[in-house]
Structure 1
Amino acid sequence: MTPFFLPTGQGYLLRLTVVPGAQRTQVVGLYGDRLKVRLAAPPEKGAANRELIDFLARSLNLPKSSFKLTLGAQSRSKVVAVYDLSPDLRDRLCRLVPASKESA
Structure 2
Amino acid sequence: MLWVQEVPGGVRFKIRVQPRASKNEVCGLLDDALKVRLTAPPVDGEANGACQAFFAKTLSLPKSQVRLVAGETSRTKTVEVIGVSKEQILKLFDSKQTSSV
TM range (shorter): 0.7 to 0.9
Deviations 1:60-93 (A, max 9, x none): 0111000111100100000011111x46x63255
Query: What TM-score results when the alignment is normalised by the length of structure 2?
Result: 0.86
Distance in 1, matches of 2:79 and 2:46, equals 16
1:96 equivalent in structure 2:
93
Distance in 2, matches of 1:19 and 1:94, equals 23
Uncovered stretches (5+) of structure 2, i.e. residues with no partner = none
Distance in 1, matches of 2:96 and 2:44, equals 33
1:40 lines up with 2:39 in the alignment? yes
Task: Give the share of equivalent positions with the same residue, in percent.
Answer: 35
> Aligned-residue CA RMSD in angstroms?
1.9
2:59 equivalent in structure 1:
60
Letter in 1 for 2:4: F
Letter in 1 for 2:58: S
Distance in 2, matches of 1:99 and 1:11, equals 21
Q: How many residues align structurally?
A: 98
Q: Is the Cα contact below 8 Å between 2:21 and 2:38 reproduced in 1?
A: yes
Uncovered stretches (5+) of structure 1, i.e. residues with no partner = none
Query: What TM-score results when the alignment is normalised by the length of structure 1?
Result: 0.83
Segments of 4+ in structure 1 off by > 4 A?
Answer: none
